[in-house]
A = this chain, B = another copy of it.
Amino acid sequence: MPQENTILVGKKPPMNYVLACLTAFHEGADEVLIKARGMSISKAVDVAEMVRNKFMPQASINEVKIGTDEVLLKEGTGTKRASSITIRISKTK
């Protein structure tokens, strides 16, 4: 059965997310989605590039999508817009 995993990139060091990604593939995922919002978008791209260039030359980036998410404000007074990215990496056999 094809498996899919999503890794949400946030405030931790990039290598944490690289490891999460490699672990997902190691556990049998065929495809991993790396997602991020706002300032973490740059980090998400770094993570995807590190996975592909340093650790899994057999991986390929299938799709990169950008969009806008509505994010609820903490105060509960409304929403703000934040850009988002989704990078789809798959193991090529």
Q: Which residues of A contact B (CB under 8 A)?
A: 38-42, 45-46, 48-49, 53, 61, 64-68, 81, 83-85, 87
> How many copies of this protein are present in the complex?
2
CB closest residue in chain B, given A53: B68
Cross-chain contact B46 with A83 (CB below 8 angstroms): yes
Q: 23 interchain pairs (CB within 8 A)?
A: A38-B42, A39-B42, A40-B42, A41-B41, A41-B42, A41-B45, A45-B83, A45-B84, A46-B83, A48-B66, A49-B66, A49-B67, A49-B68, A49-B81, A49-B83, A53-B68, A53-B81, A61-B66, A64-B64, A64-B65, A64-B66, A64-B85, A66-B87
Q: In the complex, A39→B40 CA distance in Å?
A: 9
